[in-house]
Structure 1
Amino acid sequence: MSQALSPRAEQQYFALQQDIAEAYGVDTATRQFAVEPTIAQELNDKITERSDFLTRINIVPVSDLKGQKVMIGVSGPVASRTNTKTTDREAKDMVDLSALGYELFHTESDVGLPFATVDSWSKFPDFADRYSAAVQRQIALDRIMVGWHGTHAAAQTDIKAFPLLEDVNKGWLQLAREQIPAQVLTEGKTAGKITLGAGGDYANLDALVHDVKQMIDPVFRDANDLIAIVGSDLLANDKGKLYAKQGDTPTEKERIEGAQVIATYGGLPSFIVPHFPSTGVVVTSWDNLSIYFQDTSWRRHLLENPKRSRVEDYNGRNEGYVIEQLEKFAAIEAGNLELV
C-alpha cells in the first residue's frame, strides 16, 4: 500500500482542503472548526438531497439539545362556537398534547480514505465533488438506518455488535415503542407473534395495513396524507402471489411489472424506503417524521495520517429523531411477523 500521496493526489487533496475551507469560511480545514449555522443548514440540505426519502420528511435545525417539538401540527378539530356572554373563546393547541419533546445526541460521521484510493481518484478533475457526494450520500443513508433501527444512544458505539447502527440513537420505531406502545402491534392470536398468510392472523397485506391504520387516532385516520411504508419482504411475498396467480397472462404480468396492480394497501398509497425493516409496516404521514440537528454543533476536521496511510475526515454534530404527532403514527413489531 502506498505510504504517501503521489504528487498528483497530493495536489488534488490540497485542493479539496482549500475548497472545504472556502466553503465553510475558515482559514484552514486541517484544524477542527465549527460550522456556522447557515452553512450547517446548507450542508444538511445537500445531505438531504442525496435521498428521496429524506426530502419527503422534515430535517429541522434547533438551538438546544433538549426541548419541545418545533413543527406545527393541528392536534384535533379547531371548529367551534363560543357564547362570549358567559365564556371566553379558547384557542386550540397546534402542538403534540403529550408534551414529549426531543433530545439530541452527539453523532460522528468520520471517514478514512486510503492514500491509494486518493491516488486512484486523483485522475478525475472533479475529485472534490465526487468525494463530497460520496460522504454526503453515506451520511444520508446512515441517518435513515438509525431512524428505523436505532434503539439507544450508547456512550461508545459498537458496529460489530450493532451492525444496523442500533446504538447510535433512538429512531422513530423505538420512540413509538416507548411513547405509544398501544399503537405498535406486537401479536395476534399467539403471544409475541403476528402471522400473515392463509390461516394466519391476517390473510393478506391489505388486511394487516388496514388494522395498523385503525390504531391511528380517528382525528387523523381519514386524512388524505396518510401513507403506508411496507417492508420489502412483505411486498415481494405479496407480489409473488400475484405472479403465481396471474403471471401466465402477458397483459397481467406487464401490469404487475409496472407496479400498477400493487398501488395501495389498506386503502393507503404504499412505499418502500431504504433500510426499513423487511417485514415491517408503518402508517403515518411523511411530515410526521423528523430529524432534528443542533445548528451550532457541527464540527469538521481534515488531516493526513501517515501512520494509517490515509487521509481522515472527521464530522460531528448533535441530532435526534422525532415523531411530531404521536397520535398519527402506528406500526407493527417487524421482528414478530411470520409469513405462513
Structure 2
Amino acid sequence: MMSQLSPKARQTYHALQDSVARTYGVTSAREEFNVEPTLAQTLNDRITLSSAFLQRINVIGVTEIKGEKVMMGVNGTVTGRTNTDAKDREPRNVLGLDGLGYELHDTHSDVTLKFSTIDAWAKFKDFAKRYSAAVLRQIGLDRLMIGWHGVEAKADTDRTANPLLQDVNKGWMQIVREQAPQQILVEGKVARKIQIGGLGDYANLDALVFDVSLMIDEEFRDGGDLVALIGRDLLAHDKGKLYAAQGHTPTEKERIELAQVVATYGGLPSYTCPHFPSTGVVVTSFDNLSIYFQDTSWRRYLLENPKRSRTEDYNSRNEGYVVEQLGKFAGIEPTNVEFVADKAPIAPEDPGEGEA
C-alpha cells in the first residue's frame, strides 16, 4: 500500500521545491535542471562554509573535465643578477606546473526523506533552510572523507564494502601514492611498520612529524606556510603519555585538557580535521590541497516517490582532487603505524636464583 504526504507535509515539501527553484533561478525543481555556473559557485561556497577545513583549502570551479592544474605555486628562487655585458638576462620558469593535471568524475549526492519525517518536520517554518543546511554540511564532510580515504573512482560504488567512500574518487593521499610515492613513508628502519615509542623508529610523535617534514622538497621547507595534520589516535596516544607523566599535578592536568601543552609538533603548527586517518600524519600547506568541480556540471532534481513513501533529491556534478605541488606534500601510510613500549619489560626474577 502506498502512503502519501499529509496535506501539511505536502505544503511544506512544495515550499522546499519552490525555495530551491527560486534559489537557482529555474521555473521548477520538480524536473532535472542545470545549475548556472555563478550559482554553482555560490552553492559550493555554502558547502565550503560548512567546514573550517574546507575554508582553508582551495575549492575551485573549472570549465573542463580534464586539464592542467589551476593554482600556480613557485618552486624555486627568482632573484639574482646577470652581467649583461657578457650575456642576456635569462628569466626562470619556476611555476609549479608538473604536467600531471587533473581529472574530474561524475559524483552523486542523492538524498531521500521519508514522508513520515517530513510530516514530523512540517511544524518548523524554516524546514527548507534546515534541510538545505544539513545536506550541504554532509556533502562537505563527504568531500573530506573522500579526500583522505579515496583510492579509486568506480563506475558503480558500493557504500557497504567501502564505508569511507574509498571507491568514489582518488583523494589527496592516493594521488601522492601514485604520482610521487617517495613522498609517503611506508615503513621504518626497525620493522616493516612505522613504530612509535622508545623502542621503535620514533621515540614520540614530535620526532615522527619532524622526520616527515624533512621529506618535503627543500625549496618548500622554509616558506612559513607548512602545517602538520595529525590523526586523533596519534594525538590521544601522545596526550596519554603526558597524563602519565604530569596528570597527577592538577595545574598540568588542566593545561592538558585545554590542549595548551603542545601547540606544535616537529616545529610545525598542528591541526586535525574530520575524517583524517586516525593514525595519519601529513605535512603540507593548506593551499596545496584542492578540490576542483566543473562549474557547468551541477544538476539537481527533487521528486516525490509514493511507491517508496519518500521524497528524493538528486544532486550530481563532476569533481576531483588535486595536490598542487607534489613536493610540498609528505605523509605516512596510516595503516602501517604501530605503537610500541617505551622500555623493555622487566623480566620476572627466577625464584631459584641464589639457592645452593
Q: For residue 97 of structure 1, report the CA deviation from its aligned partner.
A: 4.2
Q: For residue 191 of structure 1, report the CA deviation from its aligned partner.
A: 5.3
Q: Deviations over 1:199-219 (max 9, x none)?
A: 000000000000000000111
Matched-pair contact (CA < 8 Å) for 1:243–1:253: yes
Q: Deviations over 1:2-44 (max 9, x none)?
A: 8111111111110110011011011100110000000000000
Q: Deviations over 1:289-340 (max 9, x none)?
A: 0000000000000000011100000000000000111111000000011011
Q: Specify the alignment match of 1:138 in structure 2.
A: 138
Q: Deviations over 1:93-123 (max 9, x none)?
A: 3532422111100100000110001111111
Letter in 2 for 1:211: D
Letter in 1 for 2:11: Q
Matches within 5 A, 1:234-313: 234-313=234-313
Stretches of structure 1 that go unaligned for 5 or more consecutive residues are none
For 1:328 and 1:52, locate their aligned partners in 2 and report how far apart those are by CA, in whole Å: 22
Matched-pair contact (CA < 8 Å) for 2:190–2:200: no
Q: For residue 266 of structure 1, report the CA deviation from its aligned partner.
A: 0.2
Letter in 1 for 2:59: I
Q: Specify the alignment match of 2:55 in structure 1.
A: 55
| Greater mean deviation of Cα atoms: 137-146 or 80-89 | 80-89
Residue 60 of structure 1 aligns to a residue whose secondary structure is strand
Matched-pair contact (CA < 8 Å) for 1:50–1:137: yes
For 1:115 and 1:87, locate their aligned partners in 2 and report how far apart those are by CA, in whole Å: 78
Q: Deviations over 1:219-274 (max 9, x none)?
A: 11122111000000000000000011101111111111111112110000111110
Matched-pair contact (CA < 8 Å) for 1:71–1:95: no
Letter in 2 for 1:301: Y
Matched, 1:121 2:121: yes
Letter in 2 for 1:228: A
Matched-pair contact (CA < 8 Å) for 1:239–1:262: no
Matched-pair contact (CA < 8 Å) for 1:220–1:328: yes
For 1:85 and 1:40, locate their aligned partners in 2 and report how far apart those are by CA, in whole Å: 55
- Cα–Cα, structure 1 residues 241 and 2, in superposed 2: closer, same or farther, change >3 Å? farther
Q: For residue 179 of structure 1, report the CA deviation from its aligned partner.
A: 1.0
- Cα–Cα, structure 1 residues 88 and 294, in superposed 2: closer, same or farther, change >3 Å? farther
Cα RMSD (Å) of the superposition? 1.3
Matched-pair contact (CA < 8 Å) for 2:2–2:306: no
- Cα–Cα, structure 1 residues 60 and 91, in superposed 2: closer, same or farther, change >3 Å? farther
Q: Specify the alignment match of 1:99 in structure 2.
A: 99
Letter in 2 for 1:82: T
Matched, 1:156 2:156: yes
| Greater mean deviation of Cα atoms: 214-223 or 76-85 | 76-85
Matched, 1:197 2:197: yes
Q: For residue 87 of structure 1, report the CA deviation from its aligned partner.
A: 3.6
Q: Which runs of 4+ in 1 moved over 6 A?
A: none
For 2:291 and 2:41, locate their aligned partners in 1 and report how far apart those are by CA, in whole Å: 13
Q: Specify the alignment match of 1:176 in structure 2.
A: 176
Letter in 2 for 1:297: S
Matched-pair contact (CA < 8 Å) for 1:2–1:116: no
For 2:31 and 2:327, locate their aligned partners in 1 and report how far apart those are by CA, in whole Å: 46
| Greater mean deviation of Cα atoms: 31-40 or 66-75 | 66-75
Q: Deviations over 1:123-172 (max 9, x none)?
A: 10000000000000000000000000000000110111111000000000
Q: Specify the alignment match of 1:317 in structure 2.
A: 317
Residue 142 of structure 1 aligns to a residue whose secondary structure is helix
For 2:97 and 2:70, locate their aligned partners in 1 and report how far apart those are by CA, in whole Å: 13
Matched-pair contact (CA < 8 Å) for 1:105–1:153: yes
For 1:87 and 1:37, locate their aligned partners in 2 and report how far apart those are by CA, in whole Å: 49
- Cα–Cα, structure 1 residues 5 and 336, in superposed 2: closer, same or farther, change >3 Å? same
Q: Deviations over 1:43-93 (max 9, x none)?
A: 000000000000000001000011111112111111122233444433333
Q: For residue 190 of structure 1, report the CA deviation from its aligned partner.
A: 4.6
Letter in 2 for 1:258: L
- Cα–Cα, structure 1 residues 43 and 330, in superposed 2: closer, same or farther, change >3 Å? same
Percent identity over the alignment? 66
- Cα–Cα, structure 1 residues 14 and 331, in superposed 2: closer, same or farther, change >3 Å? same
TM-score after normalising by structure 2: 0.93
Q: Specify the alignment match of 2:186 in structure 1.
A: 186
- Cα–Cα, structure 1 residues 191 and 102, in superposed 2: closer, same or farther, change >3 Å? farther
TM-score after normalising by structure 1: 0.98
Letter in 2 for 1:80: G
Q: Specify the alignment match of 2:223 in structure 1.
A: 223
For 1:297 and 1:285, locate their aligned partners in 2 and report how far apart those are by CA, in whole Å: 29
For 1:12 and 1:97, locate their aligned partners in 2 and report how far apart those are by CA, in whole Å: 50
Letter in 1 for 2:212: V
For 2:71 and 2:94, locate their aligned partners in 1 and report how far apart those are by CA, in whole Å: 9
For 2:38 and 2:87, locate their aligned partners in 1 and report how far apart those are by CA, in whole Å: 46
Letter in 2 for 1:242: L
Residue 202 of structure 2 aligns to a residue whose secondary structure is coil
How many residues are matched?
Answer: 340
